[in-house]
Amino acid sequence: MTEVFEGTFTQQEPIPEAAIEAAVAQMRTGRLHRYNLVGDEVGEVSLLEEEFGAYTGARYCLAVASGGYALATALRAVGVTPGDRVLTNAFTLAPVPGAIASLGAVPVFIGVTEGLVIDLEDLAAKADQADVLMLSHMRGHIADMDALMTLCNARGITVIEDCAHTMGARWNGVLSGRHGTIGCYSTQTYKHMNSGEGGLIVTDDEDVAARCVMLSGSYMLYGKHRAAPGPEVFERVKYVTPNISGRMDNLRAAILRPQLRDLARQCERWNERYRTVEAGLEDAPGLTLIPRPEKEDYVMSSFQFLLLDWAGDRITEVVRRCAARGVELKWFGAAEPVGFTSRYDSWRYVASEPMPASDRVLRGILDLRLPLTFSLEDCALIARIIRAEVSAVYQEAG
106-115 mean pLDDT? 97
> Is residue 107 a contact partner of residue 141, using CB atoms and an 8 Å limit?
no
Q: In CATH terms, is domain 17-261 a member of 3.40.640.10? A: yes
* pLDDT tier, 28 (very low <50, low <70, confident <90, very high otherwise): very high
CA geometry: angle 255, 258, 259, nearest 5 deg: 80
> Is residue 304 a contact partner of residue 290, using CB atoms and an 8 Å limit?
yes
342-365 mean pLDDT? 90
pLDDT in tens, 56-71: 999 999 999 999 999 9
Percent of the chain with pLDDT over 90: 93
88-113 mean pLDDT? 96
Mean pLDDT of the chain, nearest integer? 96
Residue 342 has a pLDDT of 77
pLDDT in tens, 184-209: 999 999 999 999 999 999 999 999 99
> Which residues, 6 or more positions from 26, have their beta carbon under 8 angstroms from its beta carbon?
32, 44, 250, 251, 254
Q: What is the residue extent of each domain of the chain?
A: 17-261, 263-396
**Which of 213, 248, 216, 217 is CA-nearest to residue 234?**
213
Residue 340 has a pLDDT of 75
Residue 201 has a pLDDT of 98
Pairing state between β 132-136 and 158-162: parallel
Q: Do domains 17-261 and 263-396 have the same CATH topology?
A: no
99-112 mean pLDDT? 97
What is the CATH number that goes with domain 263-396? 3.90.1150.10
Q: Does residue 237 have a pLDDT over 90? A: yes
> Is residue 166 a contact partner of residue 299, using CB atoms and an 8 Å limit?
yes
pLDDT in tens, 271-289: 999 999 999 999 999 999 9
Q: Which amino acid is at 125?
A: A
Q: Among 252-266, 325-339, 376-390, whose mean pLDDT is lowest?
A: 325-339
Residue 222: DSSP 8-state: G
* pLDDT tier, 169 (very low <50, low <70, confident <90, very high otherwise): very high
303-327 mean pLDDT? 97
> Is residue 331 a contact partner of residue 366, using CB atoms and an 8 Å limit?
yes
327-338 mean pLDDT? 88
Query: How many C-beta atoms lie closer than 10 Å to residue 323's C-beta?
Result: 12
Residue 1 has a pLDDT of 67
For 79-137, the DSSP string reads T--TT-EEEEESSS-THHHHHHHHTT-EEEEE-B-TTSSB-HHHHHHHGGG-SEEEEE-
Q: How far apart are CA 24 and CA 275, in angstroms?
A: 37
Helix, coil or strand: residue 178: coil
Residue 217 has a pLDDT of 97
